Structure 1
Amino acid sequence: MKILVYPHAMELGGSQLNAIELAAAVRDLGHQVAIIGEDGPLSRRVEELGLERMAIPAQRRRPSPAVAKQLRALVRQYDIDIIHGYEWPPALDAVAAVFPNERAVAICTIMSMAVAPFLPGNMPLIVGTEALRQHTARKRSGPTYLIEPPVDMKANSPGQPVREFRDRFLGSTHQTIDIGVVCRLVPELKLEGVLTAVDVVGELGLRWPVRLVITGDGDARDQVAQRAAAANQRAGREVVVLTGELVDPRPAYDAADIMLGMGGSALRALAFGKPLVVQGEQAFWQLLTPDSVDLFLSQGWYGIGNGTGGAERLRAILEPLIMDSALRENLGEYGRQLALRRFSLERAALLQEEIYRSALASRHTSAVRQATVGARSAVLLASHKVRRKVDRMRGTAKSDDMNAVTLAAEAMKEERRP
């Protein structure tokens, strides 16, 4: 098969890194695979994996008629079979590119917990959690598949250049218990938990030799840096360190003794054999253990709390981990074995290959049907953009969580039932 993979961005992030690494794994199964995307930090990863990258403008509308036109030309020029868009803007570009061409098929992967209601209902869709698959499949005519976010277990494994990382950011001696966070520092999803972690580890640092190491960058960096400076001043030492964004953050995972994270970052923490505290929203924190794993396998590596007591909850999780090295080791090994068994890149590539074959086998849809579905999507997309514009004017705009909060809240309700 000839496959063109279109990540939603080329900045560091879980969805786009999954798109690129999974593209390379599918290529290794014997297919021709290329990436289409703007120049960005992940261009280096594309190059390292030996994938061809076709360029698009960084400044563009989302979705972009110009990119859809470019995709259509590429389909004709190279006889492409599959255009695989990650998240909804690339997916809609892909749909526009193949209409009404029945030779190529557009496929969408959503790695967040948010499936846009304006995605074409007959489009093959891949999601990252079983709860989301069930929730979404009830509302769609097309197939909805599950591929849990994969991890390249060979690339993400102990043995990284930790000494160089510590020398650069932490000092040459390792005399602290380092609690790591690798994430984009943005207001949506992440900021609440990062600020809570700064405050909690800053407080714990008054009693124990602990340190919070935050790897990442983004619009909220100044806010995080201010909170970190205050924690460092109270502790009288550097109890919170900001490394900034790293093109290759693997040493940051490997150098940590405990990891905090959500989504793809949480899974990479498992690959490195680190005890994992899963971060969510509204004061959600939960330690991964054999007792809590089913919750995350259902709803994903994320959660919704009740909005109160987040600092107390995180402190109660971290204190036993700080005091007990054997507990850290046991939970880290449990997480790594879970990742090897369930989240390997090779397993995900085989599943994705089968989805591609199934989509090609059932691709024939009448032009009238395609036009009807496309028109409905266009109307829903226009309504969504108008609502977002009005919300921004009112100052009430929120992240596009769609059904994320509802799903996570439902999962937590189930978890609390006796």
Structure 2
Amino acid sequence: MKILVYPHDLKMGGSQMNAIEIAAAVQGQGHDVVVFGQPGPLVEYIGDLGLEFIESPAVRRRPSLAAAKKLRHLVESRSVEVLHGYEWPPSLECHLAARQKEGPAVVSTVMSMAVAPFLPASLPLTVGTHQIAAVEQASGRSAVTVLEPPVDVTRNRPGLRLDQDSFRMRWGIRPGAQVVVIVSRLAYQLKLEGIFSAIDVVSGLARGRDVQLLIVGDGPARAEVTCRAEQTNSSHDRKVVLLTGELDDPRAAYDIGDVCLGMGGSALRAMAFAKPLVVQGELGFWELLTPVSVDRFLWQGWYGVGQDKERGRAQLGRILSELLTNPACRAELGEYGLSLVRDRFSLERAADTQIGIYSKALRDRTTFAAAPNTDWRAAARFVNYEGRRLLARWTGREASDDFNSRPIAARASLVGRNAP
């Protein structure tokens, strides 16, 4: 198959990493894959994995007619059979590019915490959790597949030569200090509340033990996180909270941690390094991954919603205190997470599933002319969405992370269950 993969951008992020790594694994099984998009930090990684990169036109508004036009040209000049958009803007642009007789198959992957309601129902959809799939199927979508975020367990594993000594020296990690690690985008939605809670909890623990919190990542909330970290360090007269900013290769951070906090793909990468994982969510959600708690995460994804921020901080404090004083428990839970990732979340398994999705989409592809009703309904919903977003911008209430600000897990009553 000739496949074009189109991530929503090429900055560091879980959805983008999934898109690129799965694309490389699919190419490794004998298919012709190119990656399309706006240049960004991940372009070098695309080349390192042996993938061809094609630059899209400059994008100002989404969906972009210029991007759709370039995609249509590539379909014709390269005989592309499958257009694969990640998240709603590329998915709509791929859909627009394929609106022609005998057009390519189009598939969409959404790794956000909820699916945009204006994605056409005729579009084959892949989501990251069984809970989101259930909601989409209940809304009338029939072509919904679950593909859990994969991990390259060859590049992410214990025992790699990652030069921990140099990493510790560069970022000010004290010899003998225990390290709690967060690798995360510093975003207002989903992330910031948990990062602040982790800073406060580790600050409290640091009064009685030598522990440091290592935060890896960048984003719109960096100034707020930096300010909170500086205030914490000043109160201790030593560095308790360390900020690295964005790292092109954060593997050494996972490798150096005694405990990792995280959600989504970051949580899975921590498990791949055999680290005990505390899953981060919102409204005070913190839960330790164990054989007892795992079913919840396999259903709703590596995320959750609590009920009280203060209670959540206390819960995180108890979990970290127990883990940091119990090396045997850390080792046991780390091995459990590593085994789970290798058995269920490997990149090879994800590539097999993705190839199956492409093959089915080619067999079942639907042209625009064959599905006008779903397209017009989707267009009406998009106009409604744009109107509400414009109103929110005027009133200062716009959510910067779009559908991640309205996660399905926070609306579990829609499907009436919390575990499989």
TM-score w.r.t. the length of structure 1 is: 0.95
1:222 aligned residue: 223
Q: What is the one-letter code of the residue matched to 1:295?
A: R
Q: Do the aligned residues in 2 keep the contact of 1:39 with 1:58 (CA within 8 Å)? A: no
**What is the count of residue pairs matched by the alignment?**
414
CA deviations over 1:96-119 (Å, ceiling 9, x no partner): 000024340110001122111100
2:43 pairs with 1:43:
yes
For the Cα contact (< 8 Å) 2:57–2:70, is it kept in 1?
Answer: no
Q: Kindly provide the CA deviation profile for residues 214-248 of structure 1, in whole angstroms up to 9, marking residues without a partner as x.
A: 01111111111111111112222101000111011
- CA deviation profile, 1:18-69 (whole Å, cap 9, x unmatched): 0000000000111000100111111111011010000024543221110000
> Match for 1:131: what amino acid?
Q
1:250-289 superposed matches below 5 A: 250-289=251-290
RMSD of Structure 2 on Structure 1 (CA)? 1.8
CA offset at residue 205 of structure 1?
Answer: 0.5
CA separation of 1:340/1:244 partners in 2, compared to 1, >3 Å: closer, same or farther? same
What letter is aligned with 1:331? Answer: L
Q: Distance in 2 between matches of 1:232 and 1:60?
A: 40
Q: Could you list the per-position Cα deviations for residues 320-342 of structure 1 after superposition, in whole angstroms to 9, with x for gaps in the alignment? A: 00111111111111000000000
CA contact (8 A) 1:283 1:311 kept: yes
Q: Distance in 1 between matches of 2:166 and 2:253?
A: 10
Structure 1 segment 10-409 matched on structure 2, within 5 A: 10-158=10-158, 159=160, 160-171=162-173, 174-308=175-309, 309-363=311-365, 365=366, 367-398=368-399, 399-401=401-403, 404-409=406-411
Letter in 1 for 2:283: Q
Q: One-letter code of the match for 1:395? A: G
Q: Distance in 1 between matches of 2:91 and 2:266?
A: 23
- Return the structure number with greater relative CO, CA threshold 8 A, min gap 6: 2
- Displacement of 1:372 after TM fit? 2.8
1:410 deviates by 2.1
Amino acid in structure 1 at the alignment position of 2:70: Q
> Relative to 1, partners in 2 of residues 1:117 and 1:413: Cα closer, same or farther, differing over 3 Å?
closer
C-alpha separation between the residues in 2 aligned to 1:230 and 1:178? 19
Quick one: structure 1 residues 245 and 377, their matched pair in 2 at CA, closer, same or farther if it must change by over 3 Å? same
CA separation in 1, counterparts of 2:220 and 2:171?
A: 21
Aligned partners of 2:19 and 2:390: how far apart in 1? 29
* Larger CA deviation: 380-389 vs 395-404: 395-404
For 1:110-130, what per-residue CA distance to the aligned partner results, in whole angstroms no more than 9, with x for missing partners? 112211110010111001111
CA contact under 8 A between 1:282 and 1:305: conserved in structure 2?
yes
Q: CA deviation at 1:313?
A: 1.5
Distance 1:410 1:267 in 2: 23
Alignment deviations for residues 233-286 of structure 1 (CA, whole Å, 9 cap, x no partner): 222210100011101111111111110000010011011111001101111111
Deviation at 1:200, TM superposition (A): 0.8
Matched to 1:153, the amino acid is V
Secondary structure (helix, strand or coil) at the match of 1:243 reads strand
Sort the Cα spacing of 1:38 and 1:255 in 2 relative to 1 into closer, same or farther, 3 A.
same
Contact 1:114/1:400 (<8 A) preserved: no
Deviation at 1:413, TM superposition (A): 7.9
Cα 1:7–1:406, aligned 2, differ >3 Å: closer, same or farther?
Answer: closer
Aligned counterparts of 1:150 and 1:366: Cα–Cα separation in 2:
31
Mean Cα deviation higher: 400-409 or 36-45:
400-409
Q: CA separation of 1:146/1:406 partners in 2, compared to 1, >3 Å: closer, same or farther?
A: closer
Taking structure 2 as the reference length, what is the TM-score of the superposition?
0.95
CA distance in 2, matches of 1:204, 1:67: 50
CA contact (8 A) 1:269 1:276 kept: yes
Q: What is the rounded CA distance, in whole Å, between the counterparts of 2:232 and 2:404 in structure 1? A: 35
The gaps in structure 2 that reach 5 residues or longer are none
Helix, strand or coil for the counterpart of 1:40?
Answer: coil
**SS of alignment partner, residue 320 of structure 2:** helix
CA distance in 1, matches of 2:312, 2:27: 43
* 8 Å contact kept, 1:123–1:142: no
The secondary structure found in structure 2 opposite 1:113 is: coil
CA contact (8 A) 2:189 2:405 kept: no
Q: 1:162 to 1:59 in 2, by over 3 A?
A: farther
* Partner SS for 1:401: helix
Q: Using the aligned pairs only, state the percent identity.
A: 47
Q: Secondary structure at the match of 2:351?
A: helix
CA distance in 2, matches of 1:404, 1:22: 26
